[in-house]
Amino acid sequence: MSAMQEEVRSLLQSLKNPKEITKGMRTYYTGVLFDKKCVIVFSRWGKVAAASTATQLINDYNLNEIIFTGVAGAMDPSLNIGDVVIGKELFQHDLNATPFYQKFHIPILDLKSITIKTNDRLLKSTHLFFDNYNAYIDKTESAVFKIYSPKVIIGDIATGDQFISSKQKMNDLKNELPSAMCVEMEGAAVAQVCLEYEVPFSIFRIISDKANDNAHIDFSRFANSIASNYALGILKEYFSYTLFFYLFLSNSMNNAI
């Protein structure tokens, strides 16, 4: 899943035997991606759009997991454009049901955040992608966005139905959620749906800006030339790593027998 059409462009171009079906104004593409059966969908922006798309995915397809990818604004000064954040704790920063619940707590669930189980394979896959970075990312494009030594971290993510583009808003948000490394508009909503349906969920976000008064990059170009190819490279390594792990486990079991 991704919230921008541009972010799944490279994945769709690599999808084999594609078939598509449209429901609820969403087009779901099924096929084989790097020897794995998968569904690719552009969810659109915002929590409602992402949650409804995730629910449709879960109800219509026999999923092993949902992976969300896309861009995010950095909240932590250690992050630079082109870095990757793999989600750990996901907060809905615009959720406030006080006095019935504490601020940020999800009604009924009474959770301040959704905890994502650490995905070591996704972390390893991102490192492998960085090892082969220029096979996916054009040097000219990375220079345009001043991406020189990108890194990956596991960190907390803040989600809300607003684009954070001022330094004051970012500082206020950071004061309330000091552990949050980046901010976006969909992740925590999808995480909540997956929690309630008991579907494994992972998310990785590519830092596109600093979520402040300087957040004025060409998002369409960044999504097309950078984020889309990050998704392609990371997921290619992820699917290959998963297949290798499965084959290794199978061989180990056979040897044990």
Q: Would you give the end-to-end CA distance of the chain in angstroms?
A: 40
- Which backbone phi and psi does 11 adopt, to 5 degrees? -65, -45
Q: Where are the beta strands (DSSP E) in 8-127?
A: 16-23, 26-33, 36-41, 66-74, 84-92, 114-115
Nearest-angstrom CA–CA distance, 93 and 113 = 10
- Which backbone phi and psi does 106 adopt, to 5 degrees? -80, 120
Active site residue 138: no
Active site residue 7: yes
Residue written as token pair 């959704």: 114
Kindly name the residue from 89, 156, 209, 237 that is annotated as catalytic: 209
**Residue type at position 195:** L
Kindly name the residue from 6, 7, 83, 186 that is annotated as catalytic: 7
Catalytic positions: 7, 209
